[in-house]
Amino acid sequence: MKIKDIYDTMTYGPAPEDASEAIQFLENHQRTFKLFINGKWTAPSSKEYFDSINPATTEKLAKISEANENDVNKAVAAAKKALPEWIKIGAHQRAKYLYALARQIQKHARLFAVLESLDNGKPIRETRDIDIPIVARHFYHHAGWAQLKNTELKDYKELGVIGQIIPWNFPLMMLSWKIAPAIAMGNTIVLKPAESTSLTALLFAEICQQIGLPNGVVNIITGHGKTGAALVNHKDVNKIAFTGSTEVGKIIRRATAGTGKKLSLELGGKSPFMVFEDADLDSVVEGIVDAIWFNQGQVCCAGSRLLVQESIADKLYKKIRVRMESLRIGNPLDKSVDMGAIVDKGQLKVITDMVQLGVDEGSTLCQPSWACPKEGYFYPPTMFTGVSPSATIAQEEIFGPVLVAMSFRTHKEAVKLANNTRYGLACSIWTENINLALDIAPQIKAGVAWINCTNVFDAAAGFGGYRESGFGREGGKEGLMEYLKPRIEDSFSDKPTQITIDNSVAENTKPSTGIDRTTKMYIGGKQARPDGGYSTVIQSTKGNYIGEVSKGNRKDIRNAVEAAHANNKWANMTGHARAQVLYYIAENLDIRKDEFASRIVQMTNQSSADALQEVAVSIERIYTYAALADKYDGNVHHTIHRNVTLAMPESMGVMGVVCPDESPLLGFISTVIPAITMGNNVIVIPSEKAPFSATDFYQILETSDVPAGTVNIVTGAKDELAQVLAKHDDVDAIWYFGNKDGCTQMELLSADNMKRTWVNYGKYRNWLDTAQGEGTVFLKHASQIKNIWIPYGA
Amino acid sequence: MSEKPMKSNNQTDTTLIRNEGIPFDASLFEDLHVNRSAVERRAATLSGRRSVKKEWQAAWLLKALSCIDLTTLAGDDTQGNVLRLCAKAKSPVRLDLLKAMGMNNENIQVAAVCVYHNLIEDAVKGLNGSGIPIAAVSTGFPAGNIPLKEKIRQIEISVAAGAKEIDIVVSRNLVLNSDWKALYDEVAACRKACGDAHMKTILATGEIPTYTKVAKASWVSMMAGSDFIKTSTGKEPTNATLPVSLVMIRTLRDYYELTGFKVGFKPAGGIGKAKQAINWLILIKEELGNDWLNPTLFRFGASSLLGDIERQLEHFVTGRYSAAFRHPMA
C-alpha cells in the first residue's frame, strides 16, 4: 500500500510476529514428538501418532505421540522412582530448581509465546503479555514456597506421585499452575497436556532438561482421553489434578472414589458479570471485552452471563455493540489482533450450534458487521440480548466468544440471577460503590469475585470453584494444600474401634419400669418423630436394652435439608457471636456431665472414669472451636499492584456430617462442632449403634441459643441415610467417618453435584487424642476460600 | 477485516460544525464515575493490542506530525528562535525523505505554531503564506491566577495580533472546589472573547486529584463552547498521560452523542517520542474512530516530538538508524 493512501485512510497494516524460531523448534524434533519420561524422549509403545493442527490455518504443525497404558505405567514408575531422592534433597534444593525453571522460561519467553499461539490459535498479544508472564510468575512464587516448606508448612508432607491433566485453553499456564506447586512441595508428577495443544508442554520438557531437573520429577505424556483415564486409574498415583469440563470431572470423581487419591478439579463455569447503575460504563465495556472475548471466550471463568441493571441496560448494550465493531479478528500472530482462532473444528461447531440454538429460542443476536477470515476456525464476537434465564444459552457453558445478557431490577434479584446456575467459578461486580460491591461479593456462590476488573490472575491468590465448577484451589497458600497432607495422618489406625454388641451376656432385654422415654430426631429446632413411624431398639455392648431411637428415612433427610436451608441466621453471625453460642453449649454440657457420662457407660459399658473423661474432652473440644470461631480467618494476598486481594474462608452452606460409630459423644462433638463453627448448617447422622449421646444433646442445643436448623439430627441406618445425603443436590458438602465401602459410596454419589467430600478411607482417628481429634484441618474442610479482588485508586 | 476509509484530511476540515456549547446542566455529569484502575488497565494494554509497522508506521508518523502544535513557550524566546520554528513548521521533513515516501506533494506541515502573546507578531511574519495558524497561550498561562477581566483582555489582544487559536487555562481553584457553574461562566466568557479564533481549554490535569473530576471539568469546558480540550500546560509536574487522555476523550465521545458537536483533543507536555505519538493515535482511533484522526480534531502540544519523528522516518527510508544532527533544527 502507498504511504499516501495509508495517510489518508489511517488503516492498520499487517504486523506479524516472526515464527521462525518456533518452526525451528519443531524441525529440531523432525516435527515428531516423543514422550518425555524419566528425563528422556521415549517413543510411544503404541507406535501411534496424531497431528497437532494450527487452527488459524488448519496446517499440521507436528506429530504427537499417543501414550498407551504401557507408557503411562512407565511414566508413573519413573515418577515413583524419582520421589525418594526428590524428597531427600530438601526444600532449598527444590527451590533452586523452581527458580531455574522460572528463569529459563523467561529467557525463552517469546519462543513459548509464539509456539502457544501457533498451536492454540490465541493471539500473540495474549500469550506474550498475559500467559507466559503468568507462567514465569507462578514458578517464581512457588520457588518461594519450596524454600519455605519446612518452616511455614512443617505440619504437612508431600503426597507422592501426582497425575495432572490439563486443558487446551491455556496450555502452558495450566501446566505451570499444576507443576509448580506439586514439585515445590516435594511431589513428582506425570502430566498429560490436552491432545490439541501439546507443544508448549513438550518445549517445557526441554526446559526441564536444560536446567538439569532430576530425571523423573517431571514426566510429560501426550495423548487423548484414554491416556488420561489410564493415568487417573493408575494405582501408584496419589493425587489427580484436573482442569477441564465438568462432565469429565465427574467421571474422574467417580473413577477415583474410595481410592484415597486426593483430587482437585477445576471445571466449567457460567460466570456472572454484574453491572450496577453507578458503574463506569466505558470501563465496563472494556471489562466485557476482557471477560468474554479474551482467548475467544474459551475461558472457564469467562464472564459469559452479563447481568445489568435495567436502568442502564440499553445504554450499555449500545456501547457494547459499538465496541464489537472495532474488535479485530485474524491471524493470531498479528500483533494488532484482538481475537484469534477457535481451538479446533469441533469446538467451532459447538459454538456455532449453540448460537443457532440461541437464535431459535428467541434471543436477540448481535454480531459485528465485518466478516471473519474464511480460512481457519474463526468465530466472531457475539452478544445475545433479551435472554431469559430459562434459555439454554443462559444455562449451558458455551466456551466461545458468546455473551448472553439479561437485566435485573434490584440488588436482590441480581444476586438471585447470578446464583441461578449449577456452576460457581467466578463473578465480576461493577459498581463505584464499595459498600455495594462488598455486599454482593460474599453473596455470590463463586470461588473468585473480581470487583471492577475481570480475568485477573496471580500466583499468590487461589483460584477455583464452588458447586459444579469443581473443588480445590490453585495459587496461594490455599492452592499448596492440594499437594500436601497433614503429617498426623500417618499416625491414624487401620483398625476400626467399632462398637460390638455381645448378646450372650445380656441381662435385661426389655424396657425397665418407670416413665417411658421417647427419643426423637431433631429437625429445624424441633423434636421430630420419624416420617416412617418406625423405631429401632438400641442395645448396650453387653446386649442390654437401652431404649429405642427413631428410624429415619429419606424423607426425614429431605426435611432436615430443607430446615437447614431455611436458617440463614447462623451463617450471618459474627465469629464472636458463634463463639458465644459454642461456649454456652460447653457450659450446659458441663452442668450435665454426669448424665452424659452415664449414657456413655450405659451404651458402651466403659468405666465411669473413662466416660467422664470423654465428656471432659468433649467440653475441651468445644472450647477449642469456640476459641477458633473468631480467629480462623483469611489472608490479604500480595498480588498485583494496587489491589487488595482478600482470601476469605466462607462456609460450605449445608453440610452432611456422618459421625463415627465409636466415641458416641466425642465423635459427635468432634465432627459437628467444627462444621458449625464455620457457619454451616448441618444434618447429622450420629453413631448408629450408640446414638443416644447425640439425641440427648438436642436438649443442650435447645437451651444454648443455637438457631433452629443449624444442627439437625436424623437417626437410623447410617449408610442408608448417608447415601440419601450424598445424593441430595442441595447439600454442599459431606463428611463421612466410617468404613471403607461407605467412603467409596460417599465420593461416588457426591459426583453428580460435585459435593465436597471428606472421608476417612478406612483410617481411624483416636478422638481422645487432641492431635488427631481436632484442629484447623477440620475447619479447612468445613469452609472454602473465596478470593475477592478489590482494585483501588481514585 | 474491513475498515471504513476516512475522508482525505490534508489540513483542517472546514465542513466541521463548530461546538457552540450548550446551557450549563450539572445533571449531565453529576453522576459520572471513572474507575481509575480500569482506565489505567485499558490505557496500559492498548499499545500491546495494536502495532503499526513499515509503510503504516511511516504514514502514521506523518499523520502525527501533521497534528503537532509546534511549540515554544520559554522565557528566553526571541524573534530569532520563533522565526526558525516557523521555518521548520512549514517544512518539517527533509524533502529527500518526503520524495522517497511519495509524500512530497502532500503539503506536509505541522498543524500550528504555538507561542506566547509577545511572539505572535514574529510568528505572523514567519508563517506568512503557509496557511499554518498561530496558537497563543493566554489567560495568565500557565497558572491562570489573574482576574477574569485580564484573561479576556489577553485573549482579545492576542486575537487582534493575529492568533487564530487561543489556548486558555482553567482556574484550578474552581475545579478543586467543584464550582462548576463558575467554571462554565469563565470558559464561556473566554469563548466569547475568542470570536472566530478556536479555543483550546487546558484543564491542567496534573493538578486535578481524580479522574472523575477530570471528566467533570471536561464536560463543563465542552458545555461552555471549547473547540478543544487539552490536558496540560506542559508546566505541571505531570503532563499528558494516556489514562487521563482516555478519560477526557470518552467524555468527548459522550458529548458528541448528546449534542452532535465534535470537540477536539490535545494532549500536551512530555510527548517527545515517535512511539508515544503512535500510542496516542491508536488511542484516538480505537476510542473515537478515524473522524478524530486529523488536525481539525486532534493536536499534539509538543516541541521535541518532531525531531524524533524525523529520525524514525529516515530510518524507514534508509533502513539505518538516524541521528538528530542529520535533520535541520528548528
List per-block mean pLDDT (blocks of 10 residues) for chain A, which spans 794 residues.
Answer: 96 97 98 98 98 98 98 98 98 98 98 98 98 98 98 97 98 98 98 98 98 98 98 98 97 97 97 98 98 98 98 98 98 98 98 98 97 97 97 97 98 98 98 98 98 97 97 95 97 83 79 82 97 95 92 98 97 97 98 97 94 98 98 96 96 98 96 98 97 97 98 98 98 97 97 96 94 97 97 91
- Residues A311-341 pLDDT 10s: 999 999 999 999 999 999 999 999 999 999 9
Cα of A283 to nearest chain B Cα, Å: 6
Of B87, B92, B88, give the one whose Cα is nearest residue B125. B87
Contacts B210 to A, Cβ<8 Å: 794
B99 touches A: beta carbon within 8 Å: no
Which three three-digit cell numbers place residue A374? 474464511
Asked if residue A610 lies in contact with residue A497, where contact means CB atoms within 8 angstroms, the answer is: no
Domains observed in chain B: 26-45+52-326 (3.20.20.70)
Tell which of B8, B29, B35, B213 to mutate to test the A interface (max A CBs under 10 Å): B35
The span from the CA of A106 to the CA of A137, in Å, is 9
**Predicted local distance difference test score (pLDDT) of residue A538:** 94
Alpha-carbon distances, residue A761 vs A31, A208, A262, B241 (angstroms): 46, 36, 11, 60
Query: Does any CB of chain B come closer than 8 Å to the CB of residue A10?
Result: yes
Query: Residue A335: its chain B contacts at CB < 8 A?
Result: 48, 50-51
DSSP E strand stretches across B210-267: 228-230, 264-266
B266 is catalytic: yes
Return d(Cα A165, Cα A178) in angstroms, integer.
9
d(CA A433, CA A436): 5
Tell me if A793 and B40 make a contact (CB, 8 A cut-off): yes
Q: Are A24 and A210 in contact (CB under 8 A)?
A: no
Q: CA A589, CA A581: separation in Å to the nearest integer?
A: 12
Please give, one letter per residue, the 3-state secondary structure of A338-367: CECCCCCHHHHHHHHHHHHHHHHCCCEEEC
Query: What would you report as the CA-atom Rg of chain A, rounded to the nearest whole angstrom?
Result: 28
A126 touches chain B (CB under 8 A): no
Using CA atoms, how far apart are residues B21 and B263, in angstroms rounded to an integer?
Answer: 10
Nearest CA among A443, A716, A446, A703 for reference residue A560: A716
Q: Is the peptide bond before B142 cis (omega within 30 degrees of 0)?
A: yes
Q: In this predicted model, what pLDDT tens digit does every residue of B118-162 receive, in sequence order?
A: 999 999 999 999 999 999 999 999 999 999 999 999 999 999 999
Which of B42, B49, B212, B249 is the best mutation test for A, with the most CBs of A within 10 A? B49
Going by pLDDT thresholds of 50, 70 and 90, the confidence category of residue B1 is very low
Whether residue A129 and residue B286 make contact (CB cut-off 8 A), yes or no, is: no
Question: Which pLDDT belongs to residue A261?
Answer: 97
Nearest to A793 by CA among A646, A645, A641, A648: A641
Distance CA(A641)–CA(A67), nearest Å, equals 43
Write down the H helix ranges in A121-170: 124-126, 132-152
Residue A504's CB is within 10 A of a number of other CB atoms, namely 6
Phi, psi for residue B121 in degrees, rounded to 5? -60, -40
Is there a contact between A15 and B53 if contact means CB atoms under 8 Å apart? yes
Closest residue on chain B to A290 (Cα):
B42
Q: Is the pLDDT of residue B12 over 60?
A: no
Q: Residue B2 — pLDDT band, cuts 50, 70, 90?
A: very low
Q: Is A435 on the interface with B (CB under 8 A)?
A: no
DSSP A98-123: HHHHHHHHHHTHHHHHHHHHHHH---
The catalytically annotated residue of B90, B151, B200, B266 is B266
Within chain B, strands assigned E span 68-71, 112-115, 134-137, 165-169, 198-202, 228-230, 264-266, 300-302
Which pLDDT tens digit goes with each residue over B210-229?
999 999 999 999 999 999 99
Q: How many CB atoms are closer than 10 A to CB B242? A: 20
Interface of B with A in 262-301 (CB under 8 A): 281, 285-286, 289-290, 293
Side-chain-side CA neighbours of residue A768 (13 Å): 11
| Closest by Cβ to B59, choosing from A7, A14, A328 | A7
Q: Look at residue A516 in the predicted model and tell me its pLDDT.
A: 84
Residues 6+ apart with CB under 8 A from A317: A308, A366, A383, A385, A405
> Given strand A59-65, what is the order of strands in its sheet?
A32-33, A59-65, A49-54
Residue B165, helix vs strand vs coil: strand
Dihedrals phi, psi of B132, to nearest 5 degrees = -80, 125
Asked if A8's CB is within 8 angstroms of B6's CB, the reply is yes
Mean pLDDT for chain B? Answer: 95
Cβ-Cβ contacts under 8 Å, A643 against chain B: 37
Q: Is A547 exposed, middle or buried (0-12, 13-18, 19+ CB in 10 A)?
A: buried
Residue numbers in B near A3 (CB within 8 A): 55, 58-59, 62, 101-103
A452 CB neighbours in chain B (<8 A) are 35, 37-38
Q: Does B257 reach chain A within 8 Å, measured CB to CB?
A: no
Beta carbons of A11 and B211 less than 8 Å apart: no
Whether the pLDDT of residue B6 is over 70: the answer is no
Please tell me the distance from the alpha carbon of residue A748 to that of residue A727, in angstroms, as a whole number. 9
CB pairs under 8 A between A and B: 120
Residue B5 has pLDDT above 50, yes or no: no
CB atoms within 10 A of CB A15: 19
Using an 8 Å Cβ cutoff, are B266 and B234 in contact? no
Burial class (CB in 10 A: 0-12, 13-18, 19+), B7: exposed
A463-499 burial, b at 16+ Cβ within 10 Å, e below that, comes to bbbbbbbbbbbbbbbbbbbbbbbbebeeeeeeebeeb
Q: Has B273 been annotated as catalytic?
A: no
DSSP class of residue A310 equals: G
B282-295 pLDDT, tens digit per residue, is 999 999 999 999 99
CB contact under 8 Å between A278 and B5, yes or no, is no
Half-sphere exposure of A701 (CA within 13 A, CB side): 26
Grid coordinates 508442554 are at which residue? A201
Contact of B88 with chain A, judged by CB distance below 8 Å, is answered with no
Q: Which residue out of B230, B262, B291, B308 is catalytically annotated?
A: B230
Q: Which residues contact A442 (CB under 8 A, 6 or more apart)?
A: A449, A648, A650, A786, A788
The 3-state DSSP class for residue A620 equals helix
Q: Please name the member of B39, B41, B59 whose beta carbon is closest to the beta carbon of A6.
A: B59
CB contact under 8 A, A793 and B37: yes
The SS3 assignment for B47 reads: helix
Nearest to A100 by CA among A127, A136, A125, A148: A136
* pLDDT tens-place string over residues B251-285: 999 999 999 999 999 999 999 999 999 999 999 99
Question: Is some CB atom of chain A closer than 8 A to the CB atom of B176?
Answer: no
Which residues on neighbouring strands pair with residue B181, listed in sequence order? Answer: none
Sign, CA dihedral A516-A517-A519-A525, equals positive
Question: A204, A214, A216: which is closest to A173 by C-alpha?
Answer: A204
**Angle at A488 (CA atoms; ends A482, A491), nearest 5 degrees:** 130
Which residues in chain A are closer than 8 Å to B31, comparing Cβ atoms?
278
Q: Does B100 touch chain A (CB under 8 A)?
A: no
Contact B19, B226 (CB under 8 A): yes
Contacts of residue B289 in chain A, CB cutoff 8 Å?
A: 326
Farthest CA pair distance, chain A: 110
Find cell 459447538 and name the residue. Answer: A350
Looking at B167, B227, B291, B308, which residue is catalytic?
B167
Give the nearest chain B residue to A331 (CA atoms): B1
How many CA atoms are closer than 13 Å to the CA of A246, on its beta-carbon side? 25
Active site residues of A: 266, 300
Interface check A125 vs B, CB under 8 A: yes
CB contact under 8 A, B49 and A10: no
Contact A8 B52 (CB under 8 A): no
Q: Does B210 touch chain A (CB under 8 A)?
A: yes
What are A649's three cell numbers?
474462608
Q: Is B25 designated active site?
A: no
Strands (E) across A535-642 are located at 535-539, 545-550, 635-637
Q: What is the pLDDT of residue B10?
A: 44
Q: Say whether A387 sits in a helix, a strand or coil.
A: coil
